[in-house]
Amino acid sequence: MKTFKMISVSIISDHEEVPIAIEDGIVINQENSSRSWILELFTDQNYEAYFNELKMSNKVYVVKVIISYPENEPAHFEVVTYSVKQIGDHLSVLLRGTLKRVRRKYAESLLAELIEDGLTGEDLLSKFESDMKTRPALKDD
């Protein structure tokens, strides 16, 4: 098994990205034949109803996770909510799933999308620099 520090996590739903505020998190590659991963996030109790609803539905959904360093490319996972437990004033949420696809080159995809949107010159550079820091979901995600 390999473990990684979770920097941020967002849930992708209907081409909309919903960031989840986390106190801490870990991503575990189980390195087994089914290529499964476990994601544990430690978050505010305000998300309890939301994650319990996802758990009860047993719905597979996509999460975008930045691992180890804020500058890293986001990894996309297809997961189900496995466990939701209160720990003190916080919530521990376990997600289980698989890596959706091999990481792609976010910078190149973002640049192509901004050019497609008609941005040029200083507007292109400014928007590119801003989006590289905030890492919004791309149209093709």
| Per-residue pLDDT at 140 | 67
What does the alpha-carbon distance between residue 83 and residue 104 come to, in Å, rounded to a whole number?
30
Query: Per-residue confidence at 10, pLDDT binned at 50, 70, 90?
Result: very high
Position with higher pLDDT, 119 vs 15: 119
Helix, strand or coil for residue 54? helix
pLDDT score of 15 more than 70 = yes
Helices 106-116 and 121-134: crossing angle, nearest 10°?
A: 140
78 token code pair: 């297809």
**75 vs 139 pLDDT, higher one:** 75
The letter for the amino acid at 44 is D
State whether the Cα torsion 128-133-136-141 is positive or negative.
positive
User: Is the four-CA dihedral 107, 70, 76, 5 of positive or negative sign?
Assistant: positive
* Domain definitions of the chain by residue range: 2-99, 104-141
State residue 63's pLDDT score: 94
Q: How much is the average pLDDT of 14-40?
A: 92
Class of 2-99 in CATH:
mainly beta
Structure tokens at 66: 């930045």
